[in-house]
Amino acid sequence: MDRPLQAGTAELATKIARLVEERGWNQEAFARIASLNRQTVRQILLPGSGRRLRNATIGACARALGLTVSDLRDLPLERLLPRMNNQASEEPPDPTRRHVSRLYEEATQPELRSWIERNPERANQLTADEMDELLSLQGTGGPLTSLGVDHFVQVIERKRKLIEQVHAIAGTEYLNVLEPLVALIYEKIQPYRDRV
């Protein structure tokens, strides 16, 4: 379901390889930091491999390099290299950490703070909107207390994954299949949405 990108993948793979080299990472280190298997990383970093990069792979590479996907795709190497030189070479910067500290500071429920402390990796993956959603569920005897933080985070993660999958499908020839399916389901939930 994660569609291959059609254009510019060879140039993008070359750019990723150059940025990884600039960071001083070997294939194994980059695979670990990007959470990709070593075979995939080897094919990306191997010159002229012709590897067709998938959206999820590009996203993992961008996060590992401390870049956004659009920066990695769109900015020329000359503009990205100075960023690599200004960063520590072992671990990539975490652009979401400032959001997580905001979540922790605005968390009034001990259950939410405790979950953040136990699950820093999952907390780092939450977007600002997802954090706002969690924060809105706080309150004495509220949903976070009765059902637990992990329950709501799992729901948020499932929604994020589904949206990513729909987005990937929408960019393929299966759009014509997806569109009526989504319209049918949307029509079914519309009476419920009108009551809320």
Q: In this structure, are 59 and 130 located in the same domain?
A: no
Q: In this structure, are 136 and 57 located in the same domain?
A: no
Confidence of residue 195 (pLDDT cuts 50, 70, 90): low
Q: In this structure, are 77 and 111 located in the same domain?
A: no
| Range among 10-19, 94-103, 137-146 rated most confident | 10-19
Residue 188: inside a domain? yes
Q: In this structure, are 137 and 157 located in the same domain?
A: yes
119: CB partners within 8 A, 6+ apart: 150, 153
User: Is the entire prediction scored with pTM above 0.75?
Assistant: no
Q: In this structure, are 144 and 68 located in the same domain?
A: no
Q: In this structure, are 190 and 126 located in the same domain?
A: yes
Q: Are 99 and 34 in contact (CB under 8 A)?
A: no
| Number of independent structural domains in the chain | 2
Q: Show the domain range for 184.
A: 97-195
**158 or 84, higher pLDDT:** 158
Residue 31: inside a domain? yes
49: CB partners within 8 A, 6+ apart: 13, 43
